[in-house]
Homo-oligomer: A and B are copies of this chain.
Amino acid sequence: MAKKAKTAINPTREENYPQWYQEVIKAADLAENSDVRGCMVIKPWGYTIWENIQKNLDEMFKDTGHVNAYFPLFIPKSFFEKEAEHVDGFAKECAVVTHTRLEDDLNGGLRPAGKLTEELIVRPTSETIIGASFSKWVESYRDLPLLINQWANVVRWEMRTRLFLRTTEFLWQEGHTVHATREEAEEETKKMLNVYADFASEYLAIPVIKGEKTASERFPGALQTFSIEAMMQDKKALQAGTSHFLGQNFAKASNIKYQSKEGIEKYAWTTSWGVSTRLIGALIMAHSDDDGLIIPPKIAPAHVVIIPIYKNEEQEKLVKEYISDLENEIKKLRFDEKKIRVIVDDRDIRGGDKVWGWIKKGVPIRLEVGPRDVENSSLFMGRRDKAPKDKGGIVFNKFIETLPEILQEIQDNIYQKALSFQKENTVNIDTKDEFYKFFTPNNKENPEIHGGFANSHWCGNPECEENIKNDLKVTIRNIPEDAKQEIGKCIYCGAKSEKRVIFSKSY
Contacts and interface: CB of A to CB of B under 8 A. Distances in A.
A39 B136 CA distance: 16
A36 B129 contact: yes
Interface in A106-165: 109-110, 112, 114, 119-122, 129, 132-133, 136, 142, 148, 152-153, 155, 157
Interface stretch (A40-48, A262-270, A414-422): A40-48
Interface stretch (A91-99, A367-375, A401-409, A462-470): A91-99
A102 interface: yes
Interface in A65-104: 67-77, 79-81, 87, 91-103
A112 B100 contact: no
A253 interface: no
A485 interface: no
Contact of A102 (B39, B51, B94, B103): B94
Interface in A421-475: none
Nearest to A152: B153
A41 to B, nearest CB: 5
Contact of A95 (B44, B51, B75, B120): B120
A400 to B, nearest CB: 23
A328 interface: no
A77 B102 contact: yes
A342 interface: no
A153 B95 CA distance: 16
A44 B148 contact: yes
Tier of interface size on chain A: 35 or more
A32 interface: yes
Given A41-B71, A48-B68, 20 more contacts: A32-B133, A34-B132, A36-B129, A39-B74, A40-B72, A42-B69, A44-B67, A44-B68, A47-B68, A47-B69, A73-B155, A77-B102, A81-B109, A91-B102, A93-B100, A94-B100, A95-B100, A96-B97, A97-B98, A112-B119
A23 interface: no
A353 interface: no
Interface of A: 32, 34-36, 39-44, 47-48, 50-51, 67-77, 79-81, 87, 91-103, 109-110, 112, 114, 119-122, 129, 132-133, 136, 142, 148, 152-153, 155, 157, 169, 171, 347-348
A55 B71 CA distance: 20
Nearest to A122: B97
A81 B142 CA distance: 53
Give 6 closest A-B pairs by Cβ, nearest first. Answer: A39-B72, A44-B67, A96-B99, A42-B70, A91-B102, A100-B157
B91 A101 contact: yes
Nearest to A90: B102
A125 to B, nearest CB: 15
B70 A120 contact: no
B91 A110 contact: yes
13 contacts: A32-B136, A34-B72, A34-B133, A35-B132, A36-B75, A39-B74, A47-B68, A47-B70, A50-B70, A72-B169, A74-B169, A93-B100, A153-B153
A95 B97 contact: yes
Q: Residue among A32, A92, A148 with the most chain B CB within 10 A?
A: A92
B112 A74 contact: no
B41 A70 contact: yes
B73 A153 contact: yes
A172 B438 CA distance: 51
Contacts of A102: 77, 80, 87, 91-92, 94, 96, 121
Contacts of A44: 67-69, 148
Nearest to A130: B41
A107 B122 CA distance: 23
A108 to B, nearest CB: 9
A345 to B, nearest CB: 13
A96 B103 contact: no
Contacts of A119: 112
A133 B36 CA distance: 11
A50 B152 CA distance: 14
A100 to B, nearest CB: 4
A410 B347 CA distance: 46
Contacts of A136: 32
Best-buried of A81, A110, A120 by chain B (most CB within 10 Å): A110
A129 B99 contact: no
Contact of A101 (B41, B79, B94): B94
A51 B68 contact: yes
Contacts of A79: 35
A442 B489 CA distance: 88
Nearest to A40: B72
Contacts of A51: 68
Contact of A98 (B32, B96, B133): B96
